Chains A and B, each alone.
Chain A
Amino acid sequence: MAGGREVLWTLFRCEIRMLLRDKRTIFIGVILPLFLFPAIILVTRAVEERERVSLESATYYYAVTGTQRDLAGTLVRDALTRRAATADTSQPALHIEESQVAEPDSALRTGGIHLVVEGMAPDEWRTVRDEEERARRERAVTSGRGDDSEAAPAADEADDVEVPVLRLHYRDNSQRSGAAMREVRDALRDLRGEQRERLFRERGFPLDPADVAALEANNLATREEEAGALIGILLAPLIVMMMLTGGSIVAADAIAGEKERGTLETLLTTAARRWEVVWAKQLSVVAVGVVVTLINMLNLLVYVMLGVFELPEDFAVSVTPATLVVLLLLYLPLALLVSSAQLLLSGVSKTYKEYQFNFFPVFLLLLIPAFAAVLPGIELRSAVVLVPVANVAVASREVLTGEFHWLALGAAFFVNVMASAYAARLTVGTLSTERLITAAELDRAELLGGPALFPRRVLTWFGVLWALLLVTSLWFGEHVGIRGQVTFNLGVLFFGGALLMMRRYRLDPRSTLALRAPPAAAWLAVLVGAPSGLVTGVGVARLAQLVFPVPEEVVESFGQYLLPDELPLWQIVFFLCVLPGICEEIAFRGVLLHGLRRRFHPVVLCLVVGAIFGFFHVSLFRLIPTAYVGVLLSAVVVLTGSIFPAMLWHALNNATALVPARLGLWEGEQLPEGVLPLGIAGLAVSFWILWRTRRLYPGLRE
């Protein structure tokens, strides 16, 4: 009878054989990148060279205007003459000519000339500057932007200039105009430097460094050590990236592809053990990942030798066999970890397409820690040794610069081996996950559509709503003001989105939104609970501050944004208390909670709905307090089976937070002494009432 090793070998050989026969994947995944990356670099370099030649060979025109035009014209001409005389072949001076046009500004706009030099008297410049500053402020007020959104126009001297000012007008959307401005600016600066130096000399200021203090920097690092530091930083990201792209050629097909084809069920009915299947697949992912990485490395070397990739000057690498062995020992568990993660991803994905969809987040998750060595001052002998991937990145740098500690290297090795083993164990688990084994079959919910499908789709819908909320608040938030934003978020996104979901999935509004009469005592619980919830929420916010410290200014500016002085009280009550109480409850405690009610245990359900509610407040410092309120509100709906008490609680919560603040009675963040324990007691009483009179939300998971 065949032993475990033979089964393992058979499975491995089958994976590799199938991969080698998949010519399209081999071409796209292995062969094409070998030529594509150098081709991109060559093309980019050719385009850059062409641009440079074109910019160098062009003739640039400038016009001189202003009350001090004669002085300005002379200065520019002198500066350009001086620059042409001192330019060398490595950086030749641009060919710039003065142009006599009647309408310089219009010529600059149409591209007839590239630069306008305006000579101004000091007072004149100050007046223009003040006017521009005033106009900028007005624009900022009307657009709702902050004061610091644009830089004030300034000459490169201090405010109190008493010499003529040369303003260079150019158009940054034109490469030539930008190049002309930089050339003239640099020429003028050089000229000014020369004149300044001459004046210093004339007044007897010692300009020879030897007369003041000589300065010399002496680099003690060898060229090899410098190169080691550079490679040490780049090695981990490069290898992780290559392993991920190489390994995914096999990983995607290894489990997700097999599920999709229906071959996984065939394989799982054979006498092969689950771990044998996973090991063989992992082995093939590692093997292909390593081979593709080696091919890419060799490819890189060949292109370096051919001069396609240029290395820094004086670049010298010296890697001893001992260093190489240490690096290999470090990267072996990393290769295992990367392949385990890919195989796990393949295991949890139902189809090839789903694997590809999920690949990018995993790619980032593994690649970002690989850049850990870039962080200044980070050492392996710190908590970073416990972070898989990041520890190898930092260890590589230390090994290549010759400053490492064996114990820390051993710990990094161990951590990655353990992480890899854990991921492999989870992958074995996915092969026993019954829903995933049978996922390729026709999905009943897909077939039925409507309410049966909604629980599967609800999180995707809220993901899209969240993305829309984020985009609109970032792009338009400042322009439309708080009223516009609240109306859009609550009216269009939350209310409209909820209606759309109910229509799309044929959901019954009454049961979906829990439009049922609550127990009478629930109202009393709400009256006690809402202010208590707010008070305890402030306590939670304080605790959250310990984890995510938020600068005072951020909180203040947010308060200012939420409660602008011009917003009358009734609008605060309507837009920030009543509307959220209705629309947010319909979206979160209505549609979302309904969609998730069977997926999670009721306690987890409240936590999940609350967390999602928190994420919708698109701010790190509000996340935890709003999520906390979201959890309370979800619990109210679960215990009363009705959305109405939660609506009142929500409106009261916001009113208690905002109205006294608007009236200047309470600052919101500072609680009077003794109020917090009172809040905790009030919340306990409220939930005791809700529990005693509970009328549970129907259809919850048991």
Chain B
Amino acid sequence: MTGPTISVRALSKSFYDEFRGEVRAVDGIDFACLPGQIFGLLGANGAGKTTTLRMLATILKPTSGEASLLGHDVVADPEAVRRNLGFYSASTALYPRLTARETLEFFARVNRYPGERVTERVDYLVERFGIAEYADARVDKLSSGMKQKVSIARTVAHDPPVLIFDEPTVGLDVLNALEMQDVIRHLRDDGKTILFSTHIMSEAEKLCDHIAIIHRGKILASNTLDGMRRDTGKHYLEDIFVAYVGGRKEIEAAERAALGAQER
């Protein structure tokens, strides 16, 4: 077995907020994500999940610490990191005036997928994600479910070995959320390594091979679900989460702080 696909060591990120002063969104976290694994980053709103994933996707620069993807450092070699990565989040939108097929072709090319194989890859994705029916329709004419499929297909357009899904089911209805979970599972079965963030416990319970609980920018626990059950003596992930975090009041307080609690 080779080393971890994603490796994070003492990673921190501080922001300067005009009102709250310096905010440590991520505070010295460590974790490792093994090949072919779905690694779940579980935390309440504002816990630091998105900031962590954005640092791994090289959109944000870490304040300190190290992170690497397939051995490529996110600061020293961001292009190599992004070449091997597909990033999906509720906020990563599509170009409305391109067709579904053009979208896939565009993302395959800008992610440096070999030019001569782009058409073949696009045809495969159209087939694989069942979007043939509307492949030549403009994205702004598609329903939200269709857009979701195109969006996932564009995430894997260049066939990256690592995928990051940041709260992928936020805003989706039940059917689309379930379909998204199926897609993630199938991608894992295809051999992809998946880093997945959510605040929905049932999702993490169903999908993740390994879970890290993140709270106030720190990782409080990192284990398999069974391991966490053993450590806490609780069965359901909700209870496990509350036990690690230190009670419901603490979760509420953290969410308020993340929203920018007022200081007089």
Q: Which residues of A contact B (CB under 8 A)?
A: 1-3, 6-7, 10-11, 14, 17-18, 21-22, 261-263, 265-273, 432, 434, 437, 440-441, 444-445, 447-448, 450-452, 455-456, 508, 511, 598-599, 699, 701-702
A273 to B60, CA, bound (A): 14
Out of B93, B95, B262, name the residue touching A14 (CB < 8 Å): B95
Separation in Å of the B203 CB from the closest CB of chain A? 22
Interface residues of chain A: helix, strand, loop or mixed (majority): helix
* Residue of B19, B82, B85 ringed by the most chain A CB atoms within 10 A: B19
Known: A269-B82, A271-B158. A1 touches B96 (CB 8 A): no
A270 to B98, CA, bound (A): 17
Is B87 an interface residue when CB atoms closer than 8 A count as contact? yes
Separation in Å of the B199 CB from the closest CB of chain A? 16
Separation in Å of the A252 CB from the closest CB of chain B? 15
Closest to A510 in B: B264
Contact A455 B18 (CB under 8 A): yes
A261 to B140, CA, bound (A): 12
Residues on B with C-beta less than 8 A from A271 are: 79, 82-83, 110-112, 158
Separation in Å of the B152 CB from the closest CB of chain A? 12
Out of B19, B79, B91, name the residue touching A445 (CB < 8 Å): B19
Closest to B60 in A: A434
Between A and B, 26 residue pairs with Cβ closer than 8 Å are A1-B113, A6-B109, A6-B115, A7-B109, A10-B110, A14-B95, A17-B102, A21-B138, A261-B95, A266-B154, A268-B59, A269-B58, A269-B59, A269-B82, A270-B110, A271-B111, A272-B110, A272-B111, A434-B59, A434-B61, A437-B59, A440-B91, A451-B19, A451-B262, A452-B262, A599-B18
Residues on B with C-beta less than 8 A from A14 are: 95, 98, 106
Which residues 104-139 of B sit at the A interface, judged by CB distance below 8 A?
Answer: 106-107, 109-115, 138
Is B94 an interface residue when CB atoms closer than 8 A count as contact? yes
Contact A10 B259 (CB under 8 A): no
Known: A2-B114, A269-B92. A701 touches B264 (CB 8 A): no
Is B97 an interface residue when CB atoms closer than 8 A count as contact? yes
Separation in Å of the A295 CB from the closest CB of chain B? 22
A185 to B114, CA, bound (A): 84
Contact A444 B259 (CB under 8 A): yes
Residues on B with C-beta less than 8 A from A267 are: 110
Contact A269 B91 (CB under 8 A): no
Give per-residue flags for B15-44: 1 if the beta carbon is below 8 A from chain A beta carbons, else 0.
100110110000000000000000000000
Contact B93 A263 (CB under 8 A): yes
Contact A261 B262 (CB under 8 A): no
Residues on B with C-beta less than 8 A from A6 are: 109, 115
Closest to B22 in A: A702
Identify 17 new A-B residue pairs, CB closer than 8 A, beyond the known A14-B95, A445-B260, A450-B262. Answer: A1-B113, A3-B112, A6-B115, A10-B110, A263-B92, A266-B94, A270-B82, A270-B110, A271-B82, A271-B83, A432-B61, A434-B61, A437-B60, A452-B19, A455-B18, A508-B264, A699-B263
Residues on B with C-beta less than 8 A from A1 are: 112-114
Residues on B with C-beta less than 8 A from A261 are: 93, 95-96
Contact A265 B96 (CB under 8 A): no
Residues on B with C-beta less than 8 A from A451 are: 19, 262, 264
Contact B92 A265 (CB under 8 A): yes
Q: Which residues of B contact A (CB under 8 A)?
A: 15, 18-19, 21-22, 57-61, 79, 82-83, 85, 87, 89, 91-98, 102, 106-107, 109-115, 138, 154, 158, 259-260, 262-264
Closest to A595 in B: B18
Residues on A with C-beta less than 8 A from B94 are: 263, 266
Out of B59, B95, B259, name the residue touching A18 (CB < 8 Å): B95
Separation in Å of the B119 CB from the closest CB of chain A? 13
Known: A268-B59, A448-B262. A21 touches B83 (CB 8 A): no
Residues on B with C-beta less than 8 A from A447 are: 259
A441 to B138, CA, bound (A): 25
Known: A261-B96, A434-B60. A448 touches B260 (CB 8 A): yes
Residues on A with C-beta less than 8 A from B97 are: 17-18, 21-22
Residues on B with C-beta less than 8 A from A7 are: 109-110, 112
Residues on B with C-beta less than 8 A from A702 are: 21-22
Contact A17 B115 (CB under 8 A): no
Closest to A262 in B: B93
Contact A10 B262 (CB under 8 A): no
Separation in Å of the B115 CB from the closest CB of chain A? 5
Contact A2 B92 (CB under 8 A): no
Separation in Å of the B149 CB from the closest CB of chain A? 15
A598 to B20, CA, bound (A): 8
Contact A10 B114 (CB under 8 A): no
Closest to B154 in A: A266
A22 to B83, CA, bound (A): 31
Contact B112 A456 (CB under 8 A): no
A261 to B113, CA, bound (A): 25
Known: A21-B97, A261-B93, A437-B59. A511 touches B260 (CB 8 A): no
A544 to B91, CA, bound (A): 52
A401 to B95, CA, bound (A): 49
Residues on A with C-beta less than 8 A from B61 are: 432, 434
A447 to B158, CA, bound (A): 38
Residues on B with C-beta less than 8 A from A511 are: 264
Closest to B111 in A: A271
A444 to B23, CA, bound (A): 13
* Residue of A1, A22, A270, A441 ringed by the most chain B CB atoms within 10 A: A270
Separation in Å of the A515 CB from the closest CB of chain B? 13
Residues on B with C-beta less than 8 A from A268 are: 59
Closest to A598 in B: B18
Contact A262 B95 (CB under 8 A): no
Contact B87 A269 (CB under 8 A): yes
Residues on A with C-beta less than 8 A from B21 are: 598, 699, 701-702
* Residue of A2, A262, A441 ringed by the most chain B CB atoms within 10 A: A2
A3 to B115, CA, bound (A): 9
Separation in Å of the A271 CB from the closest CB of chain B? 4
Residues on B with C-beta less than 8 A from A269 are: 57-59, 82, 85, 87, 92
Contact A10 B106 (CB under 8 A): yes
Residues on A with C-beta less than 8 A from B158 are: 271
A524 to B95, CA, bound (A): 65
What 8 A-B pairs are tightest by C-beta distance, nearest first? A262-B93, A269-B87, A271-B83, A266-B92, A10-B109, A2-B112, A21-B97, A18-B97
A701 to B264, CA, bound (A): 15
A699 to B19, CA, bound (A): 9
Separation in Å of the B264 CB from the closest CB of chain A? 5
A270 to B80, CA, bound (A): 10
A447 to B98, CA, bound (A): 33
A654 to B64, CA, bound (A): 51
A265 to B102, CA, bound (A): 18
Contact A455 B19 (CB under 8 A): yes
Residues on A with C-beta less than 8 A from B91 are: 262, 265, 440-441
A612 to B102, CA, bound (A): 51
Separation in Å of the B106 CB from the closest CB of chain A? 5
Closest to A277 in B: B110
Separation in Å of the A403 CB from the closest CB of chain B? 49
Residues on A with C-beta less than 8 A from B138 are: 21
Residues on B with C-beta less than 8 A from A10 are: 106, 109-110
Residues on A with C-beta less than 8 A from B22 are: 702
Residues on A with C-beta less than 8 A from B264 are: 451, 508, 511
Residues on B with C-beta less than 8 A from A21 are: 97, 138
A94 to B60, CA, bound (A): 77
